[in-house]
Chains A and B, each alone.
Chain A
């Protein structure tokens, strides 16, 4: 099953490679990984999207906790949470396609953030599956380029991951 794991770790050189190294060394799946410093500059927050059986997920959480630089780990799937990902898509926009692309963008509540002669760049946020759905709706030949950030996640309500 797909899990989203959030963690706080010391914002130190090499910390990211420890996490990435753990996943490859133990052959855990990694769908996406995002990381950035938090409001406390000594800490980084990472979101890892992974998948595996319950046993594997349990091991992943334990192994992450074991890394010396990792301060806190939370399996977001243990409770209710929100997941968001940002995608930028450059699409062909010539002739009738210009209206079509604008309409699709509105339906998915995206924004056109760059307009050029033959193309638009659309910014879209949402869950991974919403972004997937958007791409599936478009004709393949229209898509010129995509870039996705990978998911970020946060617990709902009073579920807080903090030191």
Chain B
């Protein structure tokens, strides 16, 4: 029997066990939407802006490890999706975005709602396809899911002209795909792994630096095993948080521009650095010339060869799936007689404890204005550290990363690479769809939340009991902070004027709104929001926080990790 292209699309998605499609209809995808109407295997989530559809699909992928799916129409639907796609690309998140395209004969004619989606997204996708024949739909979607999820994951766009969704073809979903041009490496080179183990055991001042690759590669368990066995200090990047339990003694906190003193100093001063699923990003190591240390040995495990020796030259590259490579390392260590040098390690830990004792994340706990850090600390306590936490981009994001101690991977969802304001609420939606009974908190700023505020409507429609933690400082805080430090306090356009009454706004969408103005009310408000009475409700909590609080420590852009500014130095 022959099916239409639109029916084939639906069948393929069902075959891939897709549970949610986040999307928004329009002319070019009407045939597909008609088939969605007739099926009930997956749920379609109607967002209020295509950017949010892609973010929500991306969050679903981050939270579950499965491929997220978004569906948008041609032209403006497609361009609205681009920010979401680029966000997923920068953080290597596996999503498939299906976009409608004008009918094949109209392509290139400047047709109504025509945009070259394949061209526009080329630099921000892992791969993209324009489907030219109805017979190619099934194999293309199969390839799209395969490419998105394997190797270094990433977004894949499938652009389908409207006429193709009407044409008929025999349908058969391919069981597997083989591509001669795409064969991601799995196993690391055994010789290199042996060499790495030898160097790791000879280290005097070792340091483990683990990134988002550990989370994406589900390698957390192996990482914990390795780190505990060695007894070495470990840091996580912003993207890696939760990859190693933050409450563990060996964890020295996040590193980077707003990392802890102990993490940044240990990173700088170590003699053997073990980088795992991390990429020496500029926000992580600052200036690579300053980061360079003669004699320091760097071992780098990553699934993407192009991440190795890109910003920092490494001594022992190991290309492979982080989980597989770490498992092999753990196995080697079991049969290894040599142990880490106990005396050297003890001295190294003593040094680290000295840095740690500076308590670099300390802030004024006696203030009568609400300190943003305090809200995050209380959120951590009230949710018992077990919530899915999403954030937007800015100061609140950094405080969330510093003060919510993530013990599990896939719990912390934020835009690390692209730094996209506006992800917070759609990310919370994606996480809540994935785990309907879990606590989901969106830590945001009054600038960021307004970038996708329309999604409050989606949350109402789908009864998503997301808790919004707005750290309202009436400033584009991170911009203000840079202007404070580097632009002589000239706060150019960083004040957020004419803010809405967020309580009323939330209420008008049918949600619960709260305004919290005193430190003494923070805990009780959070308890109420996460308590049984409001369990099924979205609660929008507007915390009126200190306007001029800054994020510390801070490594100024272009500086070295050890050149950080501490709060007390001001």
Our verdict on whether A and B bind, yes or no, reads yes
Contacts of B147 in A (CB 8 A): 68
Q: Please tell me if the beta carbons of B313 and A68 are within 8 angstroms of each other in the complex.
A: no
- CB A91 to nearest CB in B, in angstroms, measures 40
How far does the alpha carbon of A17 sit from the alpha carbon of B118 in the complex, in Å?
Answer: 10
Q: Please tell me if the beta carbons of A21 and B122 are within 8 angstroms of each other in the complex.
A: yes
Assess whether B123 is interfacial by the CB under 8 Å rule: yes
Q: Give the A-binding residues of B (Cβ under 8 A).
A: 118-119, 122-123, 126-127, 130, 132, 147, 179-182, 304-306, 309-310, 313
Q: Please tell me if the beta carbons of A66 and B304 are within 8 angstroms of each other in the complex.
A: yes
Assess whether A114 is interfacial by the CB under 8 Å rule: no
Contacts of A34 in B (CB 8 A): none
Contacts of B126 in A (CB 8 A): 68
**Chain A 1-28: CB-based contact to B (< 8 A → 1; otherwise 0):** 0000000011001100110010001000
How far does the alpha carbon of A63 sit from the alpha carbon of B130 in the complex, in Å?
Answer: 22
Whether A59 touches B122, Cβ cut-off 8 Å, given contacts A68-B182, A69-B181, is no
Q: Please tell me if the beta carbons of B130 and A55 are within 8 angstroms of each other in the complex.
A: no
Whether A62 touches B181, Cβ cut-off 8 Å, given contacts A18-B122, A55-B313, is no
- CB A69 to nearest CB in B, in angstroms, measures 6
Whether A68 touches B181, Cβ cut-off 8 Å, given contacts A18-B122, A21-B122, is yes
Contacts of A71 in B (CB 8 A): 180-181
Q: Please tell me if the beta carbons of B305 and A17 are within 8 angstroms of each other in the complex.
A: no
- Across the interface, name the chain A residue whose C-beta is closest to B319: A62
Assess whether A160 is interfacial by the CB under 8 Å rule: no
Q: Please tell me if the beta carbons of B310 and A59 are within 8 angstroms of each other in the complex.
A: yes
A: number of interface residues (CB 8 Å):
20
Contacts of A65 in B (CB 8 A): 305-306
Q: Please tell me if the beta carbons of B127 and A13 are within 8 angstroms of each other in the complex.
A: no
Q: List 17 A-B contacts (CB under 8 A).
A: A13-B130, A13-B132, A18-B122, A21-B122, A21-B123, A25-B123, A59-B306, A63-B306, A65-B306, A66-B304, A68-B127, A68-B182, A69-B181, A70-B181, A71-B180, A71-B181, A163-B180
**Chain A 38-81: CB-based contact to B (< 8 A → 1; otherwise 0):** 00000000000000000100110011011011110000000000
How far does the alpha carbon of A70 sit from the alpha carbon of B90 in the complex, in Å?
Answer: 21
How far does the alpha carbon of A62 sit from the alpha carbon of B317 in the complex, in Å?
Answer: 13
Contacts of B130 in A (CB 8 A): 13-14
- CB A136 to nearest CB in B, in angstroms, measures 39
Contacts of B180 in A (CB 8 A): 71, 163
How far does the alpha carbon of A59 sit from the alpha carbon of B123 in the complex, in Å?
Answer: 16
Q: Please tell me if the beta carbons of A68 and B306 are within 8 angstroms of each other in the complex.
A: no
How far does the alpha carbon of A59 sit from the alpha carbon of B179 in the complex, in Å?
Answer: 23
Question: Given A18-B122, A65-B306, 11 more contacts at CB 8 Å?
Answer: A13-B132, A14-B118, A14-B122, A17-B122, A21-B122, A59-B306, A65-B305, A66-B304, A66-B306, A69-B181, A70-B181
How far does the alpha carbon of A148 sit from the alpha carbon of B63 in the complex, in Å?
Answer: 54
- CB B142 to nearest CB in A, in angstroms, measures 14
Whether A62 touches B305, Cβ cut-off 8 Å, given contacts A68-B179, A163-B180, is yes
